[in-house]
């Protein structure tokens, strides 16, 4: 399923990610300014691999007018248990509706899969974004050192 949307930059297409996208997705995660400073260690060795893309519902937002197919953002929906595992928008492209488009797409995918709710364990700086697109707070996930050294907000999307 492809979804098209018009943004300030032109037409954006959301399509299923493939093995050809994994390097771009890994760079997007590792280069995210949201993970600078105290959060940098969490993503410095992170890798989105072909097995991950094959196992989960991973979708990318691309500029339809860009011949190189530049990835502007992506998300990953895990079906069991239902969770929005990853959602990233390229630095410099945030605030242009791409994250909102990806969340709407994720909700439609979740509905099509028969899900009623989708959990999100948020990176602390992203909590405001998730709330702004309809996620409801449900609690806090405690730190789990050394992997994650800080508590994280837990939210959920109601998708039915």
pLDDT in tens, the chain (160 residues): 455 444 444 789 999 999 999 999 999 999 998 888 888 788 888 899 999 999 999 999 999 888 888 899 999 999 999 999 999 999 999 999 999 999 999 999 999 999 999 999 999 999 999 999 999 999 999 998 877 888 999 999 999 8
Torsion of CA 32, 34, 36, 39, to 10 degrees: -110
Report the candidate in 38, 9, 66, 73 with the shortest Cα–Cα distance to residue 150: 38
pTM of the model as a whole: 0.89
Nearest-angstrom CA–CA distance, 160 and 111: 6
Strand segments, DSSP code E, in 3-151 are: 3-7, 10-16, 57-63, 71-78, 83-89, 117-121, 136-141
Instruction: Look up residue 109 and give its two tokens.
Output: 């995918």
Instruction: Look up residue 110 and give its two tokens.
Output: 């979740």
């Amino acid at each position: 399923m492809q979804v098209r949307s018009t943004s300030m930059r032109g037409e954006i297409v959301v399509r299923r990610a493939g093995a050809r996208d994994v390097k771009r997705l890994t760079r997007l995660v590792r280069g995210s300014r949201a993970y600078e400073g105290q959060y940098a260690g969490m993503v410095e060795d992170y890798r989105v691999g072909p097995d991950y893309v094959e196992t989960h519902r991973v979708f990318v937002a691309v500029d339809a007018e860009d011949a190189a197919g530049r990835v502007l953002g992506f998300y990953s929906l895990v079906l069991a248990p239902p969770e929005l595992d990853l959602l990233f928008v390229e630095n410099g492209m945030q605030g242009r509706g791409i994250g909102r488009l990806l969340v709407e797409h994720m909700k439609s995918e979740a509905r099509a899969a028969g899900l009623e709710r989708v959990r999100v364990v948020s990176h602390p700086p992203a909590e405001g974004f998730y709330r702004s697109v309809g996620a409801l707070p449900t609690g806090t996930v405690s730190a789990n050192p050394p992997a994650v050294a800080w508590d994280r907000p837990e939210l959920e999307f109601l998708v039915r």
